[in-house]
Amino acid sequence: MTAVGRVKPGQRHALKAVRTVYHGPYEGLGSAWQAFGERTEANGYKTAGDLCECYAVGPETSLNPTNWRTELSRTLIA
């Protein structure tokens, strides 16, 4: 991978994470993150400060936002 602007290649050590998939338009991501965080905490998990969004299906694939899928991930603290 070639570095472009702020994006640079790198490696991470092995880690554990929690992940969910949000279905819907990007405007709902704030609420999705909040619900994901609440559920993660309610189940006794402690997360690091990082978060990751992976846009699995979006407007380049479907013009209908109800078909969009975004993977939400948080790194767990050991």
Higher pLDDT, 44 or 78: 44
User: Angle CA(30)–CA(32)–CA(64) in degrees, nearest 5?
Assistant: 90
Confidence (pLDDT) at 26: 96
Give the 3-state secondary structure of residue 58.
coil
In a domain, 9, yes or no: no
Neighbours of 65 (CB within 10 A): 14
Domain extent for 57 = 17-75
Using one digit for the tens of pLDDT, what is the confidence trace for 28-55?
Answer: 999 999 999 999 999 999 999 899 999 9
Q: How far is CA 29 from CA 12, 26, 44, 53, in A?
A: 25, 5, 23, 10
CA distances from 17 to 25, 27, 28, 45, 72 (A): 24, 24, 22, 10, 10
Residue at 10 is within a domain: no
Given this model, what pLDDT does residue 32 score? 98
pLDDT given for residue 55 in this prediction: 96
Domains identified in the chain, total number = 1
- Residue 2 belongs to some domain of the structure: no
The answer to whether residue 52 sits within a structural domain is: yes
